[in-house]
């Protein structure tokens, strides 16, 4: 049967339209809040997230006002599109609106839709945090997949107990001194003075670390992979 959807999100932020545009319409900007690594080549957008590669095509690029792109429609009707609307407001503020729409095929779309809804909540919250605290800066992305999870309720309980209010230690990186900026049933986000750390319940059955680090640093990937394994499977 399948399911068509449209998921709007918006926020009024004390940033300029130029800062919003940099975040939503450039590769380095998207790298700083979305997921994985993104490159924009003309009207083609390529995103690499672990072993997954996504390609979409720019469908609208009205400078400082509207940016939209969509993945190719699959043979089964599957589709996914993003639209960003940017509106300058008074006293240097800007309204940013993200509308995600598409179609999930089949009769078993509910689990994927739930994961998508939870993930989009985290992604938009990350965009807001990025624009509020790191606008104009570029992040290094960290994407690591933890061990296979068989009991998600336990996994989240253990992870949240370890993280607490956002202050914990990762061997090989050191103390993480931050605060939780977003949490729902399948995601968790922590902001520190120099990073946005995020944890996502992957549809493939693994806990995913999807981070954005704003200061020069050695490769954090191995340390996070070890930390996930030791935390979830002590």
- Give Cα 201 distance to the centre of its chain: 12
Spatial contact of 18 and 133, defined as CB atoms under 8 Å apart: no
Whole-number Å distance between alpha carbons of 135 and 53: 26
- Whether the per-residue pLDDT at 4 is higher than 90: the answer is yes
Distance CA 231, CA 234 (A): 6
When the pLDDT of each residue in the chain is averaged and rounded to a whole number, the result is: 96
Cβ of 1: how many Cβ atoms within 10 Å?
A: 7
Helices and strands in the chain: count of H runs, count of E runs? 5, 14
Q: What is the pLDDT of residues 188-219, one digit of tens each?
A: 999 999 999 999 999 889 999 999 999 978 78
CA–CA gap between residue 92 and residue 89 (Å, rounded) = 7
Reported pTM: 0.96
User: In this predicted model, what pLDDT tens digit does every residue of 73-119 receive, in sequence order?
Assistant: 999 999 999 999 999 998 889 999 999 999 999 999 999 999 999 99
Could you give the CA distance from residue 35 to residue 62 in angstroms, rounded to a whole number?
24
The 10s digit of each residue's pLDDT in 126-185 is 999 999 999 999 999 999 999 999 999 999 999 999 999 999 999 999 999 999 999 999
Q: Is 203 exposed, middle or buried (0-12, 13-18, 19+ CB in 10 A)?
A: middle
Q: Which domains does the chain have, with CATH numbers?
A: 3-133 (3.30.530.20), 140-232 (3.30.310)
pLDDT at residue 233 in the model: 87
In angstroms, the CA 81 to CA 67 distance is 11
Contact between residue 23 and residue 40 where contact means Cβ atoms under 8 Å apart: no
What string of DSSP letters covers 56-99?
A: EEEEEEETTTEEEEEPPPPTT--EEEEEEEEEE-GGG-EEEEEE
* 95 CA to centre of own chain: 19
- CA dihedral sign, ordered 142, 147, 148, 149: negative
């Amino acid at each position: 049967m399948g399911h068509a959807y449209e998921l709007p999100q918006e926020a009024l932020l004390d940033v300029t339209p130029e800062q919003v545009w940099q975040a939503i319409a450039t590769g380095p900007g998207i790298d700083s809040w979305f997921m994985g690594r993104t490159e924009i080549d003309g009207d083609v957008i390529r995103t690499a997230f672990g072993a997954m590669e996504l390609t979409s095509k720019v469908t609208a690029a009205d400078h400082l006002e509207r940016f939209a792109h969509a993945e190719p429609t699959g043979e089964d009707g599957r589709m996914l599109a993003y639209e960003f609307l940017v509106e300058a407001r008074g006293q240097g503020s800007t309204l940013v609106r993200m509308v995600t729409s598409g179609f999930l095929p089949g009769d078993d779309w509910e689990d994927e839709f739930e994961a998508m809804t939870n993930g989009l909540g985290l992604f938009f919250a990350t965009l807001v945090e990025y624009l509020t605290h790191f606008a104009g800066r570029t992040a290094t992305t960290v994407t690591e997949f933890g061990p296979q999870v068989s009991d998600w309720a336990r996994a989240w309980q253990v992870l949240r107990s370890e993280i607490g209010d956002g202050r914990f230690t990762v061997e090989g990186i050191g103390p993480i001194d931050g605060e939780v900026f977003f949490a729902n049933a399948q995601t968790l986000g922590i902001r520190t003075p120099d990073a946005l750390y995020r944890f996502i319940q992957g549809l493939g059955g693994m806990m995913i670390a999807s981070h954005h680090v704003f200061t020069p640093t050695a490769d954090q990937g191995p340390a996070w992979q070890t930390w996930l394994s030791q935390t979830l499977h002590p």
